[in-house]
Amino acid sequence: MPKPRLPHLHLQRTRHGAVVWYFRIGKGRRVRIRGDYGSAEFQANYLAAMAAEAPQRGERAPSGTLQWLIDCYHDCGAWAALSVATRRQRENIFRVVIDRAGDIPLSQITQHAIRQGVEDRSKTPFAANDFLKAMRGLFRWAAEAQHVAADPTAGVARCRLPRNNSGYPVWTEDEIERFEANWPIGTRERLALSILLYTGLRRGDAAMLGRQHVKDGVIRIRTEKCATQVTIPILPELAEVIAATPIGDLTFVATAQGAPMSKDGFGQWFVRACRAAGVPGTAHGLRKAGATRAAENGATLAQLNAIYGWSGEKMASHYTRSMDRARLAKEGMTKLRKDKT
């Protein structure tokens, strides 16, 4: 029995007999999906269209305004070079900026205005810093393109994060066991956990992962955030779960109808699965649990970088330092005992 076609996907044949795929919701705009059906390129373009990555914009704003600059930025190569996840995040930030100040002339966007924007968001430091990064990307490009005389974000400091903030909590082994007990092998939820834990992929990459990325038992995928090619052998634990679970056409983890999930849809669905299992975890916390496991088992900096797609030593050394500190403390405790000689 043929598998159902993905939602909102339409086939059209040209007068030369070539097959062309389009994404269209109702009577909305048609978006051509390039690449061979089922390929990684096709999947990425389909997910981008489904997430409305390139919505039609109305008439261009008056020249010289902040909204006009943002519209120009959307059409430049610097914007296209950003990852899908980064574009989505910054698009949301720019939408708020346009609502608040889109009609303001660029001459009024000063360093003081940028600093005030950071300050207005200081109660949520991560949001404040994301705002600054988005505006910095916009105005650095604008300065190079000579749309502005100077970059108003230059010299604006990031918002200081709380000292005790370590990001997403790392899953404990007990939490992993509780999740597995609630979601047995064969469920989509267990498949999602196994992919996140045994590949180290971020949720956007885990949502995109499919059979087209696997050859001879090895996953090869270019990560969404860093555009780094990672090569990950499939461990027996993961192979067992994949073999026992219904999967989608383009992705291993799919909706109940077999369609791929967007990055945000995957994350929200997985959080609900965590709550149902009584686990206060997230997809990213599970990625950190995998890195912790690997470091505990003696993974080197180079090995952690290869698995998780990091570069340099900053991220990998965070995990190896923690393990080294725990080992040294355990060994050093013997030094506290009274010398009986």
284-334: pLDDT as tens digits: 888 888 777 877 777 777 877 777 776 666 666 665 665 556 555 666 666
Q: Provide the β-strand partners of residue 191.
A: none
Question: What is the per-residue pLDDT for 222?
Answer: 86
Q: Provide the β-strand partners of residue 222.
A: 229
Predicted confidence band of residue 56 (pLDDT cuts 50, 70, 90): very low
Sign of dihedral through CA atoms 168, 173, 174, 180?
Answer: positive
Q: What is the DSSP letter of 35?
A: S
Question: What is the per-residue pLDDT for 129?
Answer: 92
Rounded Cα distance between 233 and 40, Å, is: 18
Question: What is the per-residue pLDDT for 61?
Answer: 80
Helix (H) or strand (E) holding 242: helix 236-244
Higher local confidence (pLDDT), 275 or 338: 275
Helix (H) or strand (E) holding 11: strand 9-13
Q: Worst-scoring range by mean pLDDT, 1-10, 99-108, 129-138, 183-192?
A: 1-10
Place of tokens 């062309």: 20
Tokens of 216: 């001879």
Closest CA to 178 of 167, 170, 190: 190
Q: Diameter of the chain by CA atoms?
A: 95
pTM assigned to the model: 0.59
Tokens of 232: 């990950």
Q: What is the DSSP letter of 184?
A: -
Domains of the chain by range and CATH? 1-56 (no CATH), 59-163 (1.10.150.130), 173-329 (1.10.443.10)
Amino acid in the structure at residue 54: A
Please classify residue 217 by burial: count the beta carbons closer than 10 Å to its beta carbon, then call 0-12 exposed, 13-18 middle and 19+ buried: exposed
Helix (H) or strand (E) holding 93: helix 84-101
Q: Worst-scoring range by mean pLDDT, 102-106, 145-149, 225-229, 254-258?
A: 225-229
Q: Are strands 229-233 and 214-215 parallel, antiparallel or unpaired?
A: unpaired
Rounded Cα distance between 295 and 229, Å, is: 21
Query: pLDDT at residue 238 above 90?
Result: yes
Helix (H, G, I), strand (E, B) or coil at 32: strand
Average pLDDT, the chain: 82
